[in-house]
Structures are given as structure tokens and as C-alpha cells.
A = this chain, B = another copy of it.
Amino acid sequence: MENKGEASPSIISASPTSSPPPPPSPRMVLSPCAACKILRRRCGENCVLAPYFPPTEPAKFTIAHRVFGASNIIKLLQELPESQRADAVNSMVYEAGARIRDPVYGCAGAIYHLQRQVSELQAQLAKAQVEIGY
């Protein structure tokens, strides 16, 4: 068989590029969500992540993905009713942010400090109430 002398692309993307490149799509509505863009996968109509990771907020997904991993985020969302998914995403992003800021203690560090603060305030309040004569 003859061996073509033409230069062929060594890396072929998901969409073969032998024809001229298509013009950039002006349809912003159809742009992939931040999650699918970062994961380099097709963002379908039924994308479970799209409602919570808009393309305008890529950091939100990057942070959650780095700590929990995309598959765990998807799994958790699929186990929840849609009405609770936004809260779950926000709490995961918050938690992941805490873990990135404090890789050793994460949210647990904040809980520890708040628990100490509660104890101290309770002690001060009890003391004040004794002074008042409660």
C-alpha cells in the first residue's frame, strides 16, 4: 500500500478537523457548563452539574473538583432531590474552599474553634448571670 506523504495530524481531537474550522458560536446559551468545560466533556441537555456550575463561575467547580472529585460530586447530587442540590453544591464548595485554605483541618478546624468560642461564651454568660443574681 502506498504511504501518503501528506502530513497528517498526530493528535486528533474529538471532532476531526479536515474541513475548515467552524466559526465561533455566538449562542452563549449552548456553551458548556464550567464543570464540563474543565472536564473537557460534552455538556448535554441533561447535565446534572450545569445548573450549579455556570460557565461564568469556573472557580466554583475547580475548587469542589479538587477536593471531592467530579464523580463524587455527581454521585452525591444524583442521590438528592433537585430542590436540595443547589444547597449541597454550595456547602461542598464552601467545604472544599476551607480544605484548600487549611489542608490539615479544613472545616473541622473551623468547627473546633467555634466550639471553643461557644464554651467560653457560655462560661462568661454563666458568670455574668451569677453576678446579676439569676
Binding site for B on A (CB under 8 A): 66-69, 71-72, 76, 79-80, 84, 87-88, 90-92, 94-95, 98-99, 103-111, 114-115, 117-118, 121-122, 124-125, 128-129, 131-132
- Chain B residue numbers with a CB within 8 Å of A128 are 125, 128-129, 131-132
Least CB separation from A85: chain B residue:
B104
Quick one: copies of this chain in the complex? 2
A118 to chain B minimum Cβ distance, whole angstroms, is: 5
Give chain B residues whose Cβ lies under 8 Å from the Cβ of A71.
69
Measured CA separation A124–B99 after assembly (Å): 32
Q: How far is the CB of A117 from chain B (nearest CB, A)?
A: 5
Hey, which chain B residues are within 8 Å of A111, CB to CB? 107, 110-111, 114
Closest to A92 in B: B106
Alpha-carbon distance A88/B102, docked complex (angstroms): 10
CB distance from A113 to the nearest CB of B (A): 9
- Point out the residue from B69, B76, B108, B109 that lies within 8 Å of A103, measured CB to CB: B76
